[in-house]
Structure 1
Amino acid sequence: MEATKTAEYARALYQVHGDLAEAEAARKARECDDEGKTREAEDWAAVRRSIRQLRGANQS
């Protein structure tokens, strides 16, 4: 997944789930990994990292 697409997914997930977005992305990554969808799991892991950065930027 492109970096811009990853950032879009992260922002959208964060808007919907707030502080739980990172956990949701981790859950999706685990599900994909369990199903053998390695590429999708890697994409969700990237989304999770992007959410972590967003959370850090939004915490004051």
Structure 2
Amino acid sequence: MDALKTAQYARALYSAHGDKAEAEAAQKAREFEAAGNVEEAQNWQAVRASIRQMRGPNQG
């Protein structure tokens, strides 16, 4: 998946799920990895990283 498509998925997921979007992407990555689909798992890890960037640093 190219960077533009990754960013589009990340924005859409973040719009739909808010702060839970990163966890959703992580879950998808785990599911694809468990199913043996490494490429799709890597795509979802990239989406997760993009969401993390959008959210910015923790304000904790």
Report the TM range for the smaller structure's normalisation.
over 0.9
Distance (Å, rounded) in 1 between the aligned partners of 2:17 and 2:47: 13
Q: What TM-score does the superposition give when structure 1 sets the normalisation length?
A: 0.93
Deviations 1:2-52 (A, max 9, x none): 000000000000000000000000000000000000000000000000000
Distance (Å, rounded) in 2 between the aligned partners of 1:12 and 1:50: 11
Q: What TM-score does the superposition give when structure 2 sets the normalisation length?
A: 0.93
Matches within 5 A, 1:41-60: 41-56=41-56
Q: What is the aligned-residue identity percentage? A: 66
The alignment partner of 1:22 has SS state of helix
Give structure 2 stretches of 5+ with no counterpart.
none
List structure 1 runs of 4+ shifted beyond 6 angstroms: none
**RMSD of aligned Cα (Å):** 1.3
Give structure 1 stretches of 5+ with no counterpart.
none
Distance (Å, rounded) in 2 between the aligned partners of 1:20 and 1:56: 14
